[in-house]
Amino acid sequence: MRYFEQEGNSLVWRNKNEKLMITPWGENSLRVRSTLVGEVQDFRYALLEPEETQVDIVIEDEHASIRCGNITADVIMDDWHRYAQITFLNQRGEVLLRETPAAHALQLRCRKFEPYLGGDFALTATFEGRDGEHIYGMGQYQEEMLDWKGATLELAHRNSQASVPFYVSSLGYGFLWHNPAIGSVSFGKNRTTWHAESTKQLDYWITAGDTPREISRAYGKATGFVPRMPEYGLGFWQCKLRYWNQEQLLEVAREYKRRGLKIDVIVCDFFHWPKMGDYRFDPEFFPDPVAMVKELNDMGIELMVSVWPQVALTSENYGEMLQQGLLVRAEYGEQIGMRFVEDNMFFDATNPRARDYVWTKCRKNYFDHGIRIFWLDEAEPEYGTYDFKNYRYHIGPNVQVGNVFPQLYAKTFYDGLRESGVENPVNLLRCAWAGSQRYGALVWSGDIMSRWEDFRYQICAGLSMGYAGIPWWTTDIGGFHGGWPDHEDYRELFIRWFQWGCYCPVMRLHGDRQPHHPVRRKDGTEVLDSGYDNEVWSYGDATYPILTHYMERRESLRPYLRQVMQEAHEDGTPIMRAMQYEFPQDENCAELKDQYMFGGAYLVAPVLEMGARSRQVYFPKGNWRNVDTDERYTAGEGGLYTMVDAPLERIPVFEKIVD
């Protein structure tokens, strides 16, 4: 019998209605696909057209291999079940990853398709666990973890959770689960298990690299790089929930100008519209958007405007969008995706016609007024109950394709802006999936609480997103929910968060501050409240000079930020880099989750505990300088752990001295 054959540049194995295909997909990289009954499909959810690469395929009776650069897939058949098992090796013949064996009498399957009668399949794929392996990336989860070995993760998006199923292994490979289905992954000690609740085929991509930087570059070539960051992305962004009228927003910008404080972006948050889905300013509160944008631009400030994917049932666009099939559809019951302020449904970002419709409205009502940056909120999307099985998109059921939604939401505005002449679009989103980075997605960590534990979670979230190929990332400085600017305890948290924000890819102040200010129309009708003041002068006289010092520090970092942003654009290198990313051979860095490198030059050690005025810092081998005190530290082969001072007005930051 002929189990193996070559199709083009792919190695193919067939048996008992399964077709397994392994294809070179970029330098040192392979794509693995498998179907049970049917032909392998070329779904391009995240992967781009690969560069042509040399490939060596060797076929024997019950054994075959395919080599692409530094990675080889060795495929053997067991002598009992006639089942194919793949082992991936690097250029030195070292095992990177291996599918689990059938285990004879246990009759296990490393690629297990479970059919839905009359439909597609649930899929489980398993790989052997490896002692000593560290797993980094996977997107953004609200947990104080950096190394996911031993963890189980939901493959689904939620408010403040972004599932980006790409990881970097300390063993020298990167792995993309190229499947947007709702599911889970468990990085167990004995095995790694991927599960998709509904899918048509197995599809993953793997690359070999001796360093995380090599892996990032290969992943970027496979799924895309971020654009070049415009100059306004390097400075300070001012935001709050919410500037509710034109004059209020302009007066805040003018006050920054009067105080001599440079801001690059100011944000007009949600419910500046008459109804969700109208995609325009409410003329009662924003009577002259063109004049507003011009005055801001004259001050050197860009205006970012919030856009939600929800369309209220009362929106002027709802009837047409429903009739044209441009909305997500509920499988059963009412056609409602979320209840917030009023009933609404999400536009279907997987539908090219829906994307064109929404951008056409936004181009007319925002872009033509001079607005070039959009805040694409609710990007998961945030279904009221996260009932993933109850919604259907243009390209398939949510349970099968739903995780690609934020990527295509970003594409909606990226494509529109590019076609309108914007060379390097940047849009703020609350979620991402694999490939989002190529559409100018700047991801922020969602509606998190204003608590110390949530602050600690964000360090891990930002570093994990960097590993997962999303270098543009930020957070609401001070957290989103629950901050009271008049409370001394909160002011300390806010100071520490603000200091850290200076050393994030984008420095952005936002939050739903307490207490709220009620807002009414001229006729007395209530509209959504506005949060308490959230400008740098809103936190007391003692806090103000600390905040303005770090605004000035951010300005001084512009030349350096241009350099590291260019590295992200060219190589996919994160801006925030875990210590292990920058020092992969230093085992002391493997699980460091409370300090990181900002680019390659600065070690940043945020203060993450209430009342702390010192903290321990680990220095890898080399010479280091405190950027505030000029104190010097020298670390030998084994590195150096030491306590450093961290008074309230200062975050510990150290420059790596290059001989």
Domains of the chain (ranges, CATH numbers):
4-223 (2.60.40.1760), 231-571 (3.20.20.80), 584-657 (2.60.40.1180)
* 380 assigned to active site: yes
Catalytic residue among 120, 377, 454, 582: 377
3-class DSSP state of 217: helix
Is residue 470 classed as helix, strand or coil in its secondary structure?
A: coil
Which of the residues 447, 492, 533, 555 is marked catalytic? 447
Res 78: pLDDT: 85
Check residue 483 and give its pLDDT.
96
276-297, pLDDT tens digit by residue?
Answer: 999 999 999 999 999 999 999 9
Q: Which residue has the higher pLDDT, 499 or 659?
A: 499
pLDDT recorded at residue 358:
98
**Spatial separation of the C-alpha atoms in residues 45 and 395, rounded to whole Å:** 11
Q: What is the pTM of this model?
A: 0.98
The predicted-structure confidence for 523-577, as pLDDT tens digits, reads as follows 999 999 999 999 999 999 999 999 999 999 999 999 999 999 999 999 999 999 9
Please, what is the average pLDDT of the chain? 97
Closest by CA to 200, choosing from 15, 408, 396, 49, is 396
Q: What is the percent of the chain where pLDDT is above 70?
A: 100
Between residues 68 and 102, the one the model is more confident about: 68
Say if residue 581's pLDDT is above 80: yes
Overall size of the chain counted in residues: 659
Among this protein's residues, is 447 annotated catalytic?
Answer: yes
Average pLDDT over residues 439-446: 98
By three-state DSSP, how is residue 449 classified? strand
CA 207 to chain centre: 20
Q: What is the pLDDT of residue 371?
A: 98
**Two structure tokens written together for 464:** 């994990």
Residue type, position 350, single letter: T
**Do the Cβ atoms of 598 and 624 come closer than 8 Å?**
no
Per-residue pLDDT, 659: 78
Known catalytic membership, residue 486: no
Q: Going by DSSP bridges, is the β-strand pair 632-635/622-626 parallel, antiparallel, or unpaired?
A: antiparallel
Question: Residues 245-261: what's their mean pLDDT?
Answer: 98
72-80's contacts with Cβ under 8 Å and 24+ in sequence apart are 73/11, 73/22, 73/30, 73/32, 75/4, 75/11, 75/13, 75/20, 75/22, 77/3, 78/102, 78/104, 80/104
Residue 81, pLDDT > 80, answer no
- 85-136 pLDDT, tens digit per residue, is 999 999 999 999 999 998 878 888 999 999 998 889 999 999 999 999 999 9
Outline where DSSP puts E strands in 533-659: 576-578, 596-598, 602-604, 614-619, 622-626, 632-635, 640-645, 653-657
What pLDDT shows up at residue 105? 83
Tell me the pLDDT tens digit for each residue of 360-373: 999 999 999 999 99
- Side chain identity, residue 271: F
- Determine the average pLDDT of the residues in 486-515: 98
Q: d(Cα 483, Cα 515) in Å, to the nearest integer?
A: 9
pLDDT score, position 288: 98
Q: Distance between CA atoms of 311 and 336, rounded to whole angstroms? A: 10
Alpha helices in 514-578 (DSSP H): 544-556, 558-571
Cβ(73)–Cβ(65) below 8 Å: yes
Please identify which of the residues 380, 476, 535, 582 carries the catalytic annotation. 380
Of 79-83, 161-165, 318-322, the poorest mean pLDDT is in: 79-83
Query: pLDDT at residue 160 above 80?
Result: yes
The mean pLDDT of 402-415, rounded to a whole number, is 98
